[in-house]
Amino acid sequence: MCGIVGFVNYKKDIKNPISILNKMNNTLTNRGPDEEGKYISSPAYLAHKRLIVIDPVGGKQPMFATYDENEYSIVYNGQIYNTAELRNVLIENGFIFNTTSDTEVLLKAFIFYGYDVVKHLNGIFAFAIWNKNNEELFLARDHFGIKPLFYTIKNDNLTDEVIVTVIATGFDDEVGEEALFSDEVHVQKRRPTPEVDDEYEIPPFLRSDNY
């Protein structure tokens, strides 16, 4: 189990964005007790809680890559079953790998395939990839919806400022009256979050970008 959270604010600066990100990420502690990581580069703020299974050093998130002068960052929860096959295809097309983690394969597969990357994935996953140069956030979820992925576009009640996109997967507990999301982590059973009227769940195998 791992978990991801984050938000993107295209409109204007918000108060204490790092504090907000930390509070969001701390709700995932039970799902990722081993380590955490953050990407902080306005307008994007992403975070990850990790339960270490494969490649303790090389699998740290967020993970970063640069290709054709574009900078990409990923936070990801899941497992890619065809990692070896994808890695071989990417190596044949000139990509170099520094780790044995499926996170690096997923990130570089997105760089190679673009929005069609999900068509080439066999696994269970929910992930967010930020293209810094284009200021574009790409969200995707596995074909059967095993991994949850939520977002909202709203005036956030933590700051009274505009937060354009908030993402989350894997919440175990609500955060009280300031909750952004909550999830029972069952495939077929979700509970609504009364505090967030416009919370949406990314459908399986559907991309969502340019919010």
Coil vs helix vs strand at 139: strand
The residues that bridge with 17 in the sheet, in sequence order, are none
Residue that has been written with the tokens 């995932």 in this structure: 28
Is 107 strand, coil or helix?
helix
1, 2, 124, 130: the catalytic one is: 2
3-state secondary structure at position 118: helix
Question: Is 118 in the active site?
Answer: no
Spatial distance between the Cα atoms of 26 and 47, rounded to a whole number of angstroms: 10
Cβ atoms 74, 138 nearer than 8 A: no
Q: Residues with catalytic annotation?
A: 2
